[in-house]
Amino acid sequence: MMKSFTLLLTFLFAAFNTIAQWSTDTLINTPLCVQAGKQREQRLLKDGKGGAYIVWKDYRTGISDIYIQRVNQWGIPKWTIDGVGMCTNSADQSTPNIVTDMKGGAIVVWSDWRSGIERDVYAQRVDSNGNMKWNVDGDTVTTKSNREHTPKMVSDDAGGMIVCWEQQTAGMWDIWAQRLDSNGKQKWASGGIPLVTGVGTLNRRNHKIEKDGKGGAIIVWQDERNGVGNFDIYAQRLDRNGNLKWGATGKAICTAVDVQNDPKIDPDSLTCGAFIVWVDKRNGNADIYAQRVDSNGISIWTNNGIPVCTALGTQSATDIMSTSTTAGPYITWKDDRNGNYDIYIQKLNIQGIPQWATNGIPVCNNTATQLNPDLCNDNNNGVIVAWQDSSGNAFDIKAQRFTSSGTALWKTNGVKISAAANDQFDPKMATDGKGGAIFAWTDLRSGTEDVYIHHLFWNGTTSAINDNFETTPIAFSTQPNPFINNFTITTDLQEEPTTIITNSIGQDITSSFQKTTLYKNGKQEIQFTNNNLLPSGIYLLNIRTTHTNQTLKLLKQ
């Protein structure tokens, strides 16, 4: 009997550890890779099941290689501890980037010096079980005698990817691109295609890429064609066959006086175009400007962009993200208007009109230095912001969540992700698909660079595991019910809830509704408008806040 009881305790302890793998202690966190040598340049991709793929540059052998790991929703590594080698060639590999392979796995691209002449670009595909699907150490993207570096890519929505990179020729930099299919085979001209022709060899750098919604891509960069050192912002669109859709010279996004640089891009799914943001010195110091372009490269907002932030001091290090087809982008940046770097954020609507306070609202503006903001979708039309923060004795990692109305849902100046010894920096995120996020960063707690991870639930805590919500009944008025196309819920709660709508067999149909939140007479009204013609029947509305987890039955006529 004692032996059976001991075995039961052992089983229960193992099961508890399996469920509770994520550390709840911000001084400890969850180690992803703590091998000898440095690990850094981590990038994340959601795995579609509440977990994430994390890829990084790894010096465990003394020369940098590319490694990858997958963790599940409980933070448990799915593959070999400390990661699986994607490319362990004896040469140097760096600057990894990651996208989905549309089959539950991932594609990773990197810069590679195996030729011994100059850097080239290689890629590899890995399935959900950690098996490499292409050639050992990756398939060739480009191996010209030029220097090819800093590859960026997006999925081609057909199981492959479109990748662009900086290519150096005769001391000048240009942007080139290539497409690989799901088997790792090049689909365009050998060596890739240039995004600009006939404009000389002046520098084009700092490229970013996003999908165009039609199997192609839009790439943006800073461009020196109008004068040495006088960078402007230009863009190009490529279709799935590699055709330049915006002409041989690309489209001018901003050619205002002085320097525009460091552009970022996010898709505009309404027009198959893009939202673009950049750092702009037209006013004598670094400000933030933005533009929206359609699928033809036509600027929709004011010529040369609309001001996002023109506050005193310097604004830079932007990130941009849109959360739905009917809303404009969120834009975050570091900002020294107060004499030290803080993190600010603004939301634009699709007309380019700022929705919050002029020059943005603070994400964190304490007296310390905050750097490197990163954005993530909260799956409720809001956004999560992460950054590195020196409010302790060294840099830590913090995060904050905002509703679409600009309300901060977590602790003022952010909740701690990691407060371990020494510096933690360069945070990146992937959504957990339930309103929270998985975080990864470079960590110096051991004295050398490792990669650690952490998880926060939708409520900004680590303790809501297995949906352990408070279930205090909250009164929600739903009108009309039955409904035809639209309905509204009304509550006294000031916190905007996470809402998920499913059909009678449990399929998530939240995206079939446009959600608008209003505040009237001390009450919160959340309006749902059906964008598709749903069949009549029973639907379920799940409502989650820090105080409740309720499901309401809806009847559609």
The length of the chain, given as a count of residues: 557
User: Residue 13 corresponds to which tokens in the numbers above?
Assistant: 């302890």
Give the type of residue at 423: D
Mean pLDDT of the chain: 90
For range 139-161, the mean pLDDT: 96
Q: Where are the alpha helices (DSSP H) in 1-105?
A: 2-19
Q: What is the pLDDT of residues 61-95, one digit of tens each?
A: 999 999 999 999 889 999 999 999 999 999 999 99
Parallel, antiparallel, or unpaired for β 513-520 and 523-530? Answer: antiparallel
CA distance 158 to 147: 29
Residue 501: per-residue pLDDT: 86
Q: Would you say residue 368 has pLDDT above 90?
A: yes
Give the other-Cβ count within 10 Å of 19's Cβ. 14
What pLDDT, on the 0 to 100 scale, is given for residue 7?
36
**Considering Cα of 305, then 310, then 314, then 316, what sign does the dihedral take?**
negative
Predicted local distance difference test score (pLDDT) of residue 139 = 98
- DSSP structure class, residue 130: S
Identify which of 433, 438, 430 has the alpha carbon closest to the alpha carbon of residue 456: 438
Q: What pLDDT shows up at residue 294?
A: 97
Write down the pLDDT at residue 534: 86
Looking at residue 319, the DSSP 8-state letter turns out to be E
* Per-residue pLDDT tens over the stretch 439-459: 999 999 999 999 999 999 988
**CA gap 220, 304 in Å, rounded:** 14
Residue 220 in 3-state DSSP? strand
pLDDT of res. 5: 36
Judge whether residue 13 has pLDDT over 70. no
Enumerate domains of the chain plus CATH numbers: 95-456 (2.130.10.130), 477-556 (2.60.40.10)
Question: Where is pLDDT greater, at 533 or 423?
Answer: 423
Backbone angles phi, psi at 302, to 5 degrees: -55, 140
**Residue 372 CA from chain centroid, whole number:** 13
Does 465 score more than 50 pLDDT?
no
CB 551 within 8 A of CB 543: yes
The distance of Cα 243 from the centroid of its chain, to the nearest Å, equals 27
**Poorest-confidence range of 50-59, 291-300, 314-323, 539-548?**
539-548
Q: At 510, phi and psi to the nearest 5?
A: -55, -35
Question: What pLDDT score does 22 carry?
Answer: 93
pLDDT value of residue 506: 66
pLDDT at 474: 57
- 20-31 pLDDT, tens per residue? 489 999 999 999
Q: Give the mean model confidence (pLDDT) for residues 215-243.
A: 96
Q: Is 504 helix (H, G, I), strand (E, B) or coil?
A: coil
Higher-pLDDT residue of 457, 325:
457
Give all strands of the β-sheet with 39-46 in edge-to-edge order: 39-46, 52-58, 65-71, 84-87
Instruction: Give the least confident one: 158-172, 388-402, 500-514.
Output: 500-514
pLDDT at residue 18 is higher than 70: no
The confidence score (pLDDT) of residue 521 equals 67
Sign, CA torsion 293/298/302/304: positive
Question: Bigger pLDDT: 113 or 74?
Answer: 113
Report pLDDT digits (tens) over 29-50.
999 999 999 999 999 999 998 9
Per-residue pLDDT at 51 exceeds 60? yes
Whether the pLDDT of residue 519 is over 80: the answer is no
Q: Assign 243 a pLDDT band (cuts: 50, 70, 90).
A: very high
User: Residue 267: pLDDT above 80?
Assistant: yes
Question: Measured in Å, how far apart are the chain's first and last C-alpha atoms?
Answer: 60
Question: What is d(CA 370, CA 424) in angstroms, rounded to the nearest whole number?
Answer: 12
pLDDT at 20: 41
Tell me if residue 10 falls in helix, strand or coil: helix
d(C-alpha 430, C-alpha 512), whole Å: 23
Task: For residue 16, report the phi and psi dihedrals to the nearest 5 degrees.
Answer: -60, -45
**pLDDT bracket for residue 289 (50, 70, 90):** very high
* pLDDT bucket at 468, cuts 50 / 70 / 90: very low
Alpha carbons within 13 angstroms on the beta-carbon side of residue 278 total 30
Check whether the bond before 194 is cis (ω within 30° of 0).
no
pLDDT at 548: 64
Task: Look at residue 491 in the predicted model and tell me its pLDDT.
Answer: 80
| DSSP character at residue 164 | E
The per-residue pLDDT for 547 is: 57
Percent of the chain with pLDDT over 70: 91
Dihedral pair phi/psi, residue 413, rounded to 5°: 70, 10
Strand 193-194 with 172-180, pairing: antiparallel
Rounded to whole angstroms, the Cα distance separating 359 from 312 reads 10
Q: Whose structure tokens read 């180690």?
A: 31
**Per-residue pLDDT at 193:** 97
User: Tokens at residue 120, please?
Assistant: 């080239």
What letter represents residue 370's amino acid? Q
- Give dist(CA 49, CA 39) in Å, integer: 26
Query: Does a cis peptide bond (omega within 30 degrees of 0) precede residue 482?
Result: yes
Predicted confidence band at 542 (pLDDT cuts at 50, 70, 90)? confident
Mean pLDDT throughout 435-442? 96
- At residue 502, the pLDDT reads 81
With 0-12 / 13-18 / 19 or more C-beta atoms within 10 angstroms meaning exposed / middle / buried, residue 56 is: buried
Give the integer Cα–Cα distance in Å for 99 and 285.
Answer: 35
Q: Supply φ then ψ for residue 364, to 5 degrees.
A: -150, 120
- The pLDDT assigned to 155 comes to 97
Task: Tokens for 231, please give them.
Answer: 């960078």
Predicted local distance difference test score (pLDDT) of residue 10: 38
Percent residues over pLDDT 90 in the chain? 74
What confidence category does residue 201 fall into, taking pLDDT thresholds of 50, 70 and 90?
Answer: low
Largest CA distance in the chain: 85
pTM of the model: 0.82
For the segment 277-305, the average pLDDT, to the nearest whole number, is 98
Instruction: Calculate the CA 430 to chain-centre distance.
Output: 6
